[in-house]
Amino acid sequence: MSLRPAEGLPSDIVPERGGLLRVVSVVFALVVFAVLLEPIGFNLAMLGLLLFLLLAFGREYLILKIAISIAGSFGVHYIFERILRVPLPYSSIGFLRSLGL
C-alpha cells in the first residue's frame, strides 16, 4: 500500500490500428467458433478456428500450419474423448455425425 497518488495509464495502452484489428478478428473468430460448435461439432469448428488464426497472421509455412490445425483439432478431441473421458460436442448435422464428426 502506498500513500502517493496512482500514476495515470500510459498513452500507448490502446493498440494501434493493426493491433486493434488483430484483437477484433480473434474475438470475432471465437464468437464464430462458439456459434458453429453445436451445428458442425468440435472437430470442424476447432479446425476452422485454428486455420483462421494461424493463416490470418502470416502466410509462411502453409503446409505446416494446415498440419498443426488438423493435428490440433482432431488430437485435442481424441485426448479429451479417449484419455480424459470428457465428451465434446459432435455435429448435429446427420451427414457429419455419420462420419464421426
Mapping DSSP to helix (H, G, I), strand (E, B) and coil, where does residue 92 land? coil
**Domains held by the chain: number:** 1
Residue 55 lies in a domain: yes
Q: With left for phi above 0 and alpha for psi between -120 and 50, is residue 95 left, alpha or beta?
A: alpha
| Residue 77 domain-assigned (yes or no) | yes
Predicted confidence (pLDDT) per residue in 30-81, tens digit: 999 999 999 999 999 999 999 999 998 887 899 999 999 999 999 999 999 9
SS3 6: coil
Range of the domain at 53: 37-98
Alpha-carbon Rg of the chain, whole angstroms? 19
Q: pLDDT tens digits, residue range 81-98?
A: 999 999 988 888 888 888
* Structural domain includes residue 21: no
Residue 18: enclosing H or E segment and its boundaries? helix 17-56
